[in-house]
């Protein structure tokens, strides 16, 4: 998924996080996530939505 600033957001089960890839390098955008799946962006509310594949829950990150 591409963030509003053009960064690429990629979930990682091994890292239990969402990585941010940008021209500045690689960093962890969100940590301590179990089985993060494909993230989504709620453009209307400006929120990052991260479903958890095994836990049947949703983490919502607001700026």
Return the pLDDT at 56.
87
Residue 7 predicted with pLDDT over 90: no
**Would you say 52 and 34 are in contact if contact means Cβ atoms under 8 Å apart?**
yes
Residue 11 predicted with pLDDT over 80: yes
Domain ranges of the chain: 8-61
Residue 17 predicted with pLDDT over 90: yes
pLDDT tens profile 20-52 = 999 999 999 999 999 999 999 898 998 999 999
Pairing of strands 8-12, 25-30: unpaired
Q: Residue 32 and residue 13: Cα distance in Å, rounded?
A: 10
- The whole-model pTM stands at 0.82
């Amino acid at each position: 998924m591409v963030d509003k600033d053009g960064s690429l957001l990629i979930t990682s089960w091994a890292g239990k996080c969402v990585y941010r890839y940008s021209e500045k390098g690689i960093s962890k955008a969100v940590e301590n996530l179990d089985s993060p799946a494909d993230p989504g962006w709620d453009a209307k509310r400006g929120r990052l939505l991260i479903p958890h594949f095994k836990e049947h829950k949703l983490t919502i990150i607001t700026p």
